[in-house]
Amino acid sequence: MQDDINNQEENEFDNQYSESQETITKVTGMYKEWFLDYASYVILERAVPAIADGFKPVQRRIMQSMKDLDDGRYNKVANLVGHCMQYHPHGDASISDAMVQIGQKELLIDMQGNWGNILTGDRAAAARYIEARLSKFALEVVFNPKTTDWQASYDGRRKEPIHLPVKFPMLLAQGGEGIAVGLSTKILPHNFNELIDTSIKILKGRSFSIYPDFLTGGVVDVTNYNDGARGGKVRVRAKISQLDKKTLVINEIPFGTTTTSLIDSILKANDKGKIKIKRIEDNTARNVEILIHLSSGISPDKTIDALYAFTNCGMSLSPLCCVIQDHKPVFVGVSDILKISTNNTLNLLKSELEIQLGELQEKWHFASLERIFIENRIYRDIEEEKTWEGVISAIDKGLKPHITHLKRDVTEEDIVRLTEIKIKRISKFDIDKAKQLIESLEDEIAVVRNHLDNLIEFAIDYFKRLKEKYGKDKPRLTEIRTFDDIEATKVVMRNEKLYVNRAEGFVGTSLKKDEFVADCADIDDVIVFRKDGTMMVSKVAQKTFVGKDIIHIAIFKKGDKRTTYNMMYRDGRSGPSYMKRFNVTSVTRDRAYNLTAGNKGSTVWYLSANPNGEAETVAVELKPLAGLKKVKWDVDFSDLMIKGRSSKGNLITKYSVKKIEFKTAGTSTLKPRKIWFDDSVQRLNVEGRGELLGEFTAEDQLLVATQSGKIKTITPALTTHFDNDMVVLEKWVPNKPISAIYYEGEKERYFVKRFVVDQPNKEELFISDHPKTKLQIVVTDYRPKVEIIFSKRSLDAMQLSLEDFIAVKGIKALGNQLTDNKVKLVNRLEPLPHTPVEEVEVLEDTVEDGENDQTTLF
């Protein structure tokens, strides 16, 4: 019995196995088909916007749902989300989140309630608490059922638009990003008015350029925007200003960040020692206000650069314009998107005009038929007819003598409409009013035809109307500026201490029992010279072996052409001695460079590092030797030229050296450094960009004056940040007078004053702090001359020599009254001739760049 059961089970298994073998599908083929279907669905139906209307499917369905429920009043977002689920085959969360994102762009949705905050990153309230309706702009440019192509919704119960007939470059106005399978898209938002202006340029056939604009404001560098295509990059920065010497304020944040994420990045950089702040205060409400309080002795300028280098105050964005076109993902640039959108708007306007023309022609046609039907009493011809066919035939026969002027043939449908005219309308028919109606329709038809004949001009006027109607409160929020490159090693906060064990050859931050070298940061490099004449550059670490017998160690500055090394060495164990001067500008990390002639047993007699090319004098003493007449003499390094580090150098002596001693310090052998001011980035530089300010030595300073009436002298540090209202920036000449004309708010009169800056490095106010006081002009000519133009036309313009008008007084002096008449403009004229006193040339030179340079002698 048991055997029978077992045999039966085996037979059943064999049958099932044979059946399963017939239906086996290879997994590889299944995966290939399913994955491609899934990828196509995600790309086309979820993540990537369509170029035709600028919407992703969920956004398009949201807009259509809001249109379905639109009655001019606000709807609960929860209600809108529920209605949208009739179109969208996904959960309510994705719809709600997408609607909030559309609303926060402040273009298509009028919002009521807590919709979150793009500045702080706060989320919107629950969908049941907030309300929305379509904006007037959306109602005007997004919808038109007559020009919309429809398709069945996912369940076939409703019709949804394939694309909305958007008559505006919506995709570029809102921006968009998404991650699909195998590709992503990131389209940056652009300014509303600039898009309209550029669309008009496209219609006129002019060249154009278009750049991003963000609701968060900030500053953007679009040098490498690359039209928003693949491979492009934009740099965005927060707007940081100096409130006072110990406080920085952030008023605008970069796109893609929030005040929360920005503050977190600042605190993280502070914890890592990249920057040093005392505390941070977030006062953001409607507008961004983040106060950064600095510790004493911390440079605000350097901290600003460090914030850009090490926090989210400075970020890079990589745009990638991927859109759906003809049911395929394509990569294009923003210029192409704007051209396609503008042409699409042109075609939609043409379609609307053609539909409008057809409707007007139909109205004119039936109005003409109605007039013929009633005016010629054709309705009486059907009184004797007993069949419907007879009625139609009678009316058709009665119309024929009167319809030669019509634009198309009369159809049976037209005749049926005539039979539907009520007796009351026939009895009250007014021929004059009928004529006026037909004439007005003819006028409207002529206007529409004129628009079609001049379609480009019509589209341009359409865009201009949009700008005038909706663009008044949409100025550019993000300032376009070229950024300077910030070297992280120059602005990092040096919160570590570097130590060295010269004998054993170790350097690092953990050798706290050994010799202290300098303050450093973990991104710094350290340069080491050894007794055998080898040099090495390594990254700062806790403990690194660099070789024994270290004679010089310092923080290495890449590209430093001013630090000059003076060196004397013996070639080999008993060879001659040489001397050389060289710079070290670039090296490969952890590679040993031989600075001697390369023979074994070479040794360094003397080495000094000079931050500004100083050339000292040293005493050379030889070992006593029979026949030597001179065993000691002085050597001046200024007699040597600065060459490459691999040069052999000049011969000192062929005999054995007993010792070399430092004797006297020397002056710089380098010329005073030329400094330029680049207005595009508002920074000083030594690369020749912008306006040349002059040649600067260690004692020279810059004179800075602002429109707010503040003046000061500063050391020309390359890290200096300048105020936006700066009106004077030049090399300061201590005895050179400064002249100013200003309106004194308290006395309500104009004054002239001349003064000199007698307190260098101190910022002073040279006009009163009255709220109505206003600076008219400030000039730094020795003998300035100005032209004063009055607001009253009856008063002639006056030319004035300020030197003759007032003598040089103190900076706090009120000055001499100029006039009590209202001044319209003060123009600077060619100054009177002046012969400056010749100044004694100063040879020493150094220009601060935010670092403390030190010279080490051995």
* Catalytic residue list: 129
Tell me the three state secondary structure of residue 190: strand
H-type helices in 160-282, by residue range?
170-174, 192-204, 259-271
- Residue 129: what residue type? Y
The contacts of residue 183 (CB under 8 Å, 6+ apart) are: 43, 48, 322, 329
Cα angle 317, 318, 320; round to 5: 135
Q: List strand residue ranges (DSSP E) for 113-233, in order.
A: 131-134, 149-152, 159-163, 176-179, 184-187, 219-221
User: Token pair of 313, please?
Assistant: 């105050």
Token pair in block for residue 134: 């379509």
Torsion angle of C-alpha atoms 115, 119, 123, 128, degrees rounded to 10? 0
Length of the chain: 858
Residues 6+ positions from 382 with CB-CB distance below 8 Å: 390, 391, 394, 395, 419
Decide the pairing of beta strands 816-819 and 764-765: unpaired
CA-to-CA separations, 855 to 519, 530, 542, in angstroms, rounded = 15, 17, 24
The DSSP bridge partners found for residue 249 are: 241, 291
- Our measurement of the distance from residue 245's CA atom to the centroid of its chain's CA atoms, rounded to an integer in Å, reads 27
Alpha carbon distance 90, 78 (integer Å):
15
The region, left, alpha or beta by phi > 0 then psi within -120 to 50, assigned to residue 599 is beta
Residues 6+ apart with CB under 8 A from 21: none
CA 315, 321, 323, 329 torsion-angle sign: negative
| Cβ proximity of 382 and 393 under 8 Å | no
Let me know: does 210 contact 227? Beta carbons within 8 Å: no
